[in-house]
Chain A
Amino acid sequence: MSHAWRPVFVVLAVIVAILVMRMILVPHDFAAKNGDYKYQWHRLSAETTSKDFTVKYKGKEFCQQCHPDLVDKINASGHQNIQCENCHVMVESAKKSHPIDLKGDFGYLLDIGIDRSRELCKRCHAELSYRPQTYVMTKGTVKETVKFKQIDPTKHNAGIECVMCHDVHTAGFKAAGK
């Protein structure tokens, strides 16, 4: 046989090596699902991984287990649509202050605390001319459009924490003497 075939054998050997490597290394559940090679070519077990990701943001029902009074109060107020976590989840470690170890005892993974800064309230209540002026809330069984209270933070008692006068959980003023 001619010497010219020798490089061909080298190429064939490389191809065989790649094929053998593929047989060993390709995950056995890698497939084109529904025959859709364009959009569904993937490791099928990865779907389960995505589904099994932990839920962290649990909503009012979770908090209600220990704070039924506060949840009832807020549900009856203008703040009824707001989840506890919107305000009470802390991203800065300095403000974490929940007395019970939620992570250890309840498997709750977020950090809870109290943020009394004006910045938090301004996210909704700072006056911007292009902010919607009303929102919808449920009173009993009826849906009602209510006026959305907005203030100019530079003029409205600047420098004082909002919670000095306002009760966040009732969305009203604090009772006198309290």
Chain B
Amino acid sequence: MEEHLAHGALWTIKEGFTYPNEYIYWTIHIVVYPYITGLVAGAFVLSSMYHVFGKTELKPVAKFSLVFSFALLLMATSPLMLHLTHPLNSINMILTPHFYSAIAAFTVVYLTYMAIVLAEIWFVFRPFIIEQAKEKKGLLGLIYNAMTLGSYDVSEKALETDHKIVRILAAVGIPAAAFLHGYVGFIFGSVKTVPLWKTPLMPFIFLMSAIISGVAGCVVTYILGMSLKGNFICGATIRSMCKVLVWFLVAAIVLEGIDIVFHAYTAEEFWSIMSELLFQRFAFKMLVVQWLLGMILPLILLLLPRLSMLRAFISAMLVLIGVFTMRWDVVIGGQSMSKSLGGFLTYNMPIIPRSMETFLEGPIPITGLLLMPLLLLFIFNKVLPVFTEVFNEEDCGFTEGLLSKKDHVNH
């Protein structure tokens, strides 16, 4: 008789009483999925800071974070595809969506957001695209010509229109980005059988962690990209990004803290198993990595006076690791508590690929997936350069001067 292993049996270790059909069904892909969407939302919000709120010191990263957001957005669906047992059927999501399901609206939300981001990129880069289309020959010329969508109008009036539309799109994009990720939070928050997920705070918790990861991702990638090109990085820009990071870090700490305090205080039926999860089984991942290293330490590092580039980089890296661990703790931790409340399921990711299933569930596709947005950014940068010196040292000094004057006035 042919032996079939249950889906999930390969990586789930059961302890105590768990239901016979109970496995960790949502694995590493579902950890990476909210992580990437979070980065998308965060990066977009950062780019809007310049366009909507007129933060001039963020001008150097405005284009970069927009294109980075798009590169990440392109990869956002791939972890989902990898996790489906019938990836070819995924088109049914568009064919027969069932909107009572929290995930059915994903295609709509995703495509709407994609349209906004693409349109904004087009309007932002239009003068550059047209210039290149006229200059470049061969394949690159063809690409640029296609990207103009047939319009070569760079009159003053047209550029004025572009500017207005970019402001509108950036403004509309903020709620859209917030919705995209708040919605991911809702997908988890509405699962009534998993006590760790089921909280109305979930969309907001996810949103805050999304923004901190997105901004941190931009800090890290921007510093890396510019350094690799040997370009000048304006300190005022980085400090301004870090300021955004600090505010949202505080919000994230407050929201996630309230959530745990509430569970502990109300101590419902599931609290005994949940406290075992938080303070024993996931204590290192949750308390040490997610809270101390991922939120508290970077907050302190960023708040200490005379923020250096290196310190900003390290803090942002810590935030990135912290948010990834948070996604892991939420997704895997939530499923680790047996729904019988009388047992635990431990997730053991298959490291060595022995079959197609273990390969897909293993670290190789996931590493590829996490590196893909960087590769895409590298490619996009060839067509739409984002790692350029928008500010030279003089501009930067001027901006810093402006900022310190503003601070002076405020005090």
Majority-rule SS of A interface residues = helix
Interface residues on A, range: 20 to 34
Q: Told that A3-B126, A21-B94 touch, could you supply 7 new A-B pairs with CB distance under 8 A?
A: A2-B161, A3-B158, A4-B123, A6-B149, A7-B115, A25-B95, A91-B1
A92 in contact with B1 (CB, 8 Å):
yes
A93 at interface (Cβ–Cβ under 8 A)? Answer: yes
B81 at interface (Cβ–Cβ under 8 A)? Answer: no
**Known A41-B96, A93-B1; contact A7-B91, beta-carbon cutoff 8 A:** no
- Chain A residues proximal to chain B, CB less than 8 Å: 2-4, 6-7, 10-11, 14, 18, 21-22, 25-26, 30, 37-38, 41, 91-93
**Known A21-B94, A22-B94, A22-B95; contact A6-B151, beta-carbon cutoff 8 A:** yes
Contacts of B150 in A (CB 8 A): 6
B161 in contact with A7 (CB, 8 Å):
no
Q: What 1/0 flags go to B158-192 for Cβ under 8 Å of A?
A: 10011001000000000000000000000000000
Majority-rule SS of B interface residues = helix
**Known A25-B95, A26-B95; contact A3-B115, beta-carbon cutoff 8 A:** no
Measured between C-beta atoms, what is the minimum distance from B133 to chain A in Å?
A: 13
B122 at interface (Cβ–Cβ under 8 A)? Answer: yes
Interface residues on B, range: 20 to 34
B224 at interface (Cβ–Cβ under 8 A)? Answer: no
Complex Cα distance, B96 from A41, in Å, reads 9
Complex Cα distance, B322 from A117, in Å, reads 57
B382 at interface (Cβ–Cβ under 8 A)? Answer: no
A7 in contact with B94 (CB, 8 Å):
no
**Known A25-B91, A91-B1; contact A3-B96, beta-carbon cutoff 8 A:** no
Q: Specify the chain B residue showing the minimal Cβ separation from A6.
A: B149
A11 in contact with B1 (CB, 8 Å):
no
Q: What 1/0 flags go to B271-285 for Cβ under 8 Å of A?
A: 000000000000000
B118 at interface (Cβ–Cβ under 8 A)? Answer: yes
A11 in contact with B115 (CB, 8 Å):
yes
Measured between C-beta atoms, what is the minimum distance from A92 to chain B in Å?
A: 7
Q: Specify the chain A residue showing the minimal Cβ separation from B154.
A: A3
A10 in contact with B149 (CB, 8 Å):
yes
Subset of 16 A-B contacts with CB under 8 Å: A3-B151, A3-B153, A3-B158, A3-B161, A4-B162, A6-B149, A6-B150, A6-B151, A7-B115, A7-B119, A14-B115, A18-B94, A30-B96, A38-B100, A41-B98, A92-B1
Contacts of A30 in B (CB 8 A): 96
B118 in contact with A7 (CB, 8 Å):
yes
Complex Cα distance, B91 from A6, in Å, reads 27
Contacts of A4 in B (CB 8 A): 123, 161-162, 165
Complex Cα distance, B92 from A30, in Å, reads 12
Complex Cα distance, B100 from A106, in Å, reads 46
A26 in contact with B96 (CB, 8 Å):
yes
Measured between C-beta atoms, what is the minimum distance from B111 to chain A in Å?
A: 8
Complex Cα distance, B123 from A10, in Å, reads 14
A7 in contact with B1 (CB, 8 Å):
no
Query: Which residues of B (90-143) have their CB < 8 Å from a CB of A?
Result: 91, 94-96, 98-100, 111, 115, 118-119, 122-123, 126
Q: Specify the chain A residue showing the minimal Cβ separation from B94.
A: A18
Contacts of A11 in B (CB 8 A): 115, 119
Complex Cα distance, B119 from A11, in Å, reads 9
Measured between C-beta atoms, what is the minimum distance from A126 to chain B in Å?
A: 21
Q: Specify the chain B residue showing the minimal Cβ separation from A10.
A: B149
Complex Cα distance, B98 from A135, in Å, reads 48
Contacts of B98 in A (CB 8 A): 37, 41
Q: Specify the chain B residue showing the minimal Cβ separation from A26.
A: B95
Q: Specify the chain A residue showing the minimal Cβ separation from B150.
A: A6
Measured between C-beta atoms, what is the minimum distance from A22 to chain B in Å?
A: 6
Q: Specify the chain A residue showing the minimal Cβ separation from B95.
A: A26
Measured between C-beta atoms, what is the minimum distance from B247 to chain A in Å?
A: 33
Contacts of B96 in A (CB 8 A): 26, 30, 41
Contacts of A6 in B (CB 8 A): 149-151
Residue from A7, A14, A37, A41 whose CB has the most chain B CB atoms within 10 Å: A7
A7 in contact with B149 (CB, 8 Å):
yes
Complex Cα distance, B123 from A59, in Å, reads 73
**Known A2-B161, A92-B1; contact A7-B122, beta-carbon cutoff 8 A:** yes
- Counting from the closest, the 10 A-B pairs by CB-CB distance are A3-B151, A6-B149, A7-B119, A3-B153, A26-B95, A38-B100, A41-B98, A11-B115, A30-B96, A25-B95
Measured between C-beta atoms, what is the minimum distance from B80 to chain A in Å?
A: 18
Q: Specify the chain A residue showing the minimal Cβ separation from B115.
A: A11
Contacts of B162 in A (CB 8 A): 4
Contacts of B100 in A (CB 8 A): 37-38
Residue from A3, A26, A38 whose CB has the most chain B CB atoms within 10 Å: A3
Complex Cα distance, B98 from A6, in Å, reads 32
Complex Cα distance, B158 from A2, in Å, reads 8
Complex Cα distance, B351 from A167, in Å, reads 54
Q: Specify the chain B residue showing the minimal Cβ separation from A92.
A: B1
Complex Cα distance, B118 from A10, in Å, reads 11
Contacts of A7 in B (CB 8 A): 115, 118-119, 122-123, 149
Q: What 1/0 flags go to B186-214 for Cβ under 8 Å of A?
A: 00000000000000000000000000000
Contacts of A91 in B (CB 8 A): 1
Complex Cα distance, B161 from A128, in Å, reads 83
Residue from B118, B119, B126, B161 whose CB has the most chain A CB atoms within 10 Å: B119
